[in-house]
Structure 1
Amino acid sequence: MLTRLLFSLLLLCAGAAYAGPFVGQPVPPQYMQTTQDADIWAQVGDQVISVGTIEEGQIIAVSPMAADYYEFRFGFGTGFIDKQHLEPVQGKQRVQDRLGDLNKPLSNQNLLTWQDVTVYNAPDSRSAPFGTLAENLRYPIIGKLKDRLNQTWYEVRIGNRLGYISSLDAQEDNGIPVLTYHHILRDEENTRFRHTSTTTSVRAFNNQMTWLRDRGYATLSMYQLEGYVRNRMNLPARAVVITFDDGLKSVSRYAYPVLKQYGFKATAFIISSRIKGRPQRWDPKSLQFMSVSELRKIADVFDIQSHTHFLHRVDALHHPILLSRSYHNVLFDFERSRRALAQFNPHVLYLSYPFGGYDEKAVKAANDAGFHLAVTTVKGKVKPGDNPFLLKRLYILKTDSLETMAKIITNQPQG
């Protein structure tokens, strides 16, 4: 049964972007009770994984399916439970006593699990456990409350049931790091850009990616980051977004093979007017841009997105020219960039402002041009509910130690 269930879930989720719980579900949820301790699964990121258990005798709301499993609400998506572990509830009062306020909205905050954690039926460790949440999950909370000992508890909802997790067992989510890179060179060939902060050594980049891999980090797409910002998608606790601005040739030469080796994904924000018709002969002493064929070659690792078309320039005072252009000029450029990049990606939905320069006009133009998110160079992590057109990012410099990187990336409040 377990093998059949997992196979069914993989078929359900394979090749399809998740649109939300119970989309197109004609049958209303019904309350059922577990007959034994039951494993539960859900789609987290782009995988269907085990996300915890529900104890015997617990009541949840499920949607009957023509399959070996039932569906139920799990976080921002759908959970799955084997049909053999459930039976109809006897008596409506028992159901109503355990539901709480189903209309109470989420708090725009998540908790993070670093190990399997107990979910209790009440904000008291002496209460009966409802079940567990697995390690490495981000899970939305309804709110926080204090118990008689002034201990903080997170209130969550699973299958329309309220549950409580001690803050001693889980952390509050301080956001997802979006890492920014530009140029990558080997130490021995870097003569011109050695003192440029946006140039990273191949050795440092490889060490940084090894650090992420060894600690089990998932690399998210901008689409998944959008799901996080808009509270639409379940994601792992250990998650990071890797971005490269400009579209330099060194990205395909040095970053691409490292990321591919580790099975990582990244986003390349491309200046569409600088795409070359043919690959240039490698010259580490100049800034070279990728060609059409090079961009197509890296598409299995990199999601191609926009860094504008002609607006990646500065004026005589070294200010981004985007700031001095009219709204219509900026809008035209954004739309032209999307069209130019469509040959590599039919879904150019994300923008990186040139030199991090933006104003109210640029934000409006980004929205009107059809972008879903835009990233800046303002330092910080991305959190649910952030302005989708003013997302923060982080730099890991070539001079930063792995200890410094750990402090930047791990779940610590940003100063």
Structure 2
Amino acid sequence: MSLKRFSITQIILSLLIVLFVASNAYAETENEYNDEEMIPVQVRIVEDSEILAQVGNNIIKVGRLNKDEEMMVYPLSSDYYEFTFGNAHGLISRDDVLPMRKSKNILGLALTNVQKINQNLITVRPTTIYNHPKDNSSVFGVLEENLRYPIIGRLRESDDSLWYEINIGDDAKYIRADECELDNGVPILTYHHILKDSENKYFRHTSTTTSDTAFDSQMAYLKEAGYETISLYQLEGYLNNSVNIPAKALVLTFDDGLKSVYRYAYPVLKKYDLQATAFIISSRIKRHPQAWDPNDLQFMSISELKQIQEVFDIQSHTHFLHRYSDDKLPVLLSRTEHNIELDFEHSRRALTQFNPKVIYLSYPFGGYNADAIQAARLAGYHLAVTTVRGKVKPGDNPFALKRLYILKTDSITAMAERIANTRSDVKPMQPKQ
């Protein structure tokens, strides 16, 4: 069962509300609320109420709260209150609640300052929220499936049952551990070169070359299975515990900036309404498009890069560092921190013609060390990806993020297993071309 989607009008309205919250512009745009009215309000839910929140790219129904339960909310507009939900905010209709009292001594607000344990639960089905960690406890409501929700504590009861403590509406609520899964991380998938089998004469034995039909099948599976492609900006928020993303979330990345991505990957992603990140070697951008030659590794032009931005976010794969040294190792590993930083900065400047916010980096051939990590920080990057196999989750080093390859020899079943919410062994990936 997938999460219920709302009408365009509802989505636009709710999105405006969430953006309104994020900008802390409560009073500026709603003159009816003065400073006193911004005080949190304890409310009683007067009828079973659906709740909304932004999760990934969409405003969706995220659960239901039961009649006669109480919670802490904040005035937002004439139609909605907001309340603490996951790493951000949820919305509840004003018509569904009855204000009881206002107080500067907020009853449960201390929970918002509780240090999270950097672990999320995942709902795989509609999941009961209890008021206390006991099976005979009253029920506060239900979370929808396909959510990642931050855990603030674990409790082992006398009957040996394990419970997860969560924060909803600035109050502690509880979920049975056996009714959900632990979050094992978000997969970042890696692609490079895409060709038709009929034209692939020189790259058949290159593991990083994928056929156009296989790529189409893989993207069709993601869409059919309900996966949502999130941006690296959203992934950064997930790692920083500042946004809500769905359980079935992943990131698509394409290294190098090859023309085959424009020719074959771009239309497929557009067809399935998926988004991706293109890590571009900025020194290899062509001034004008080249005539297509499948026997050569060609790079995208300025106009082609601008066109793919409909679905691709442009980020850095360095400027002059994408090459091997004489000892067959990534040349980056033989450079000083200062020289690496200069290259990283050069790449950012060169790519600003496509994106003013170049803050993510892919190390060439996956080669990195302590100097590269420090250089990335100093050059203003927020995250960097490697070729170490695995998923990413809060607590990981943001400058050494793991990724996963889906090889041309992998079946859809193998792909499904690799990206599902299971652990991935950490080991080096095959070097790319």
* TM bin (shorter chain): over 0.9
Alignment of 1:363-378 (within 5 A): 363-378=373-388
In the alignment, what sits opposite 2:97? 86
> How far apart, in 2, do the equivalents of 1:225 and 1:155 lie?
24
Deviation at 1:91, TM superposition (A): 11
In the alignment, what sits opposite 1:402? 412
In the alignment, what sits opposite 1:200? 210
In the alignment, what sits opposite 2:324? 314
Match of 1:10 among 15, 21, 46: 15
Structure 1 SS opposite 2:396: coil
| Cα distance change of structure 1 residues 224 and 22 upon mapping to structure 2, 3 Å threshold | farther
Deviation at 1:204, TM superposition (A): 1.2
In the alignment, what sits opposite 2:42? 31
Alignment of 1:140-289 (within 5 A): 140-289=150-299
Deviation at 1:10, TM superposition (A): 3.0
Are residues 1:391 and 2:401 paired? yes
In the alignment, what sits opposite 1:67? 78
> How far apart, in 2, do the equivalents of 1:228 and 1:360 lie?
24
Report if aligned partners of 1:269, 1:304 keep a CA contact under 8 Å in 2.
yes
Look up the equivalent residue of 1:105 and give its one-letter code.
Answer: Q
In the alignment, what sits opposite 2:67? 56
101-110 or 248-257, which deviates more: 101-110
Report if aligned partners of 1:21, 1:73 keep a CA contact under 8 Å in 2.
no
Report if aligned partners of 1:22, 1:78 keep a CA contact under 8 Å in 2.
no
Match of 1:327 among 307, 312, 337: 337
> How far apart, in 2, do the equivalents of 1:6 and 1:201 lie?
37
Unaligned runs of 5+ in 2: 1-5, 426-433
243-252 or 204-213, which deviates more: 204-213
Deviation at 1:282, TM superposition (A): 0.8
Structure 1 SS opposite 2:51: strand
| Cα distance change of structure 1 residues 203 and 7 upon mapping to structure 2, 3 Å threshold | closer
- Superposed CA deviations along residues 138-182 of structure 1, whole A, max 9, x for unmatched, are 110112222233222111110112111112221100000000000
- Superposed CA deviations along residues 249-308 of structure 1, whole A, max 9, x for unmatched, are 000000001000000000000000000011111111110000001101100000000000
> How far apart, in 2, do the equivalents of 1:19 and 1:330 lie?
36
Look up the equivalent residue of 2:15 and give its one-letter code.
Answer: L
Look up the equivalent residue of 1:192 and give its one-letter code.
Answer: Y
Report if aligned partners of 1:20, 1:232 keep a CA contact under 8 Å in 2.
no
Are residues 1:291 and 2:296 paired? no
TM-score between both structures, scaled by the size of structure 2: 0.90
Deviation at 1:413, TM superposition (A): 1.4
Are residues 1:125 and 2:135 paired? yes
- Superposed CA deviations along residues 166-199 of structure 1, whole A, max 9, x for unmatched, are 1222110000000000001111111100000111
Look up the equivalent residue of 2:388 and give its one-letter code.
Answer: V
| Cα distance change of structure 1 residues 91 and 371 upon mapping to structure 2, 3 Å threshold | closer
Report if aligned partners of 2:63, 2:141 keep a CA contact under 8 Å in 1.
yes
Look up the equivalent residue of 2:82 and give its one-letter code.
Answer: E
In the alignment, what sits opposite 1:42? 53
Deviation at 1:85, TM superposition (A): 1.5
Structure 2 SS opposite 1:89: strand
| Cα distance change of structure 1 residues 17 and 63 upon mapping to structure 2, 3 Å threshold | closer
Are residues 1:336 and 2:346 paired? yes
Report if aligned partners of 2:322, 2:330 keep a CA contact under 8 Å in 1.
yes
Structure 2 SS opposite 1:386: coil
> How far apart, in 2, do the equivalents of 1:18 and 1:102 lie?
16
Q: Among all aligned residue pairs of Structure 1 and Structure 2, give the percentage whose two residues are the same amino acid.
A: 54
300-309 or 52-61, which deviates more: 52-61
> How far apart, in 2, do the equivalents of 1:111 and 1:48 lie?
20
Deviation at 1:21, TM superposition (A): 11
> How far apart, in 1, do the equivalents of 2:27 and 2:328 lie?
50
Unaligned runs of 5+ in 1: none
Report if aligned partners of 1:181, 1:395 keep a CA contact under 8 Å in 2.
yes
> How far apart, in 1, do the equivalents of 2:57 and 2:111 lie?
31
Report if aligned partners of 1:322, 1:357 keep a CA contact under 8 Å in 2.
yes
Q: CA RMSD in A?
A: 2.3
Deviation at 1:89, TM superposition (A): 3.0
> How far apart, in 2, do the equivalents of 1:169 and 1:348 lie?
40
Look up the equivalent residue of 2:72 and give its one-letter code.
Answer: A
| Cα distance change of structure 1 residues 161 and 13 upon mapping to structure 2, 3 Å threshold | closer
Structure 2 SS opposite 1:124: coil
| Cα distance change of structure 1 residues 71 and 99 upon mapping to structure 2, 3 Å threshold | closer
> How far apart, in 1, do the equivalents of 2:11 and 2:273 lie?
23
Report if aligned partners of 2:186, 2:391 keep a CA contact under 8 Å in 1.
yes
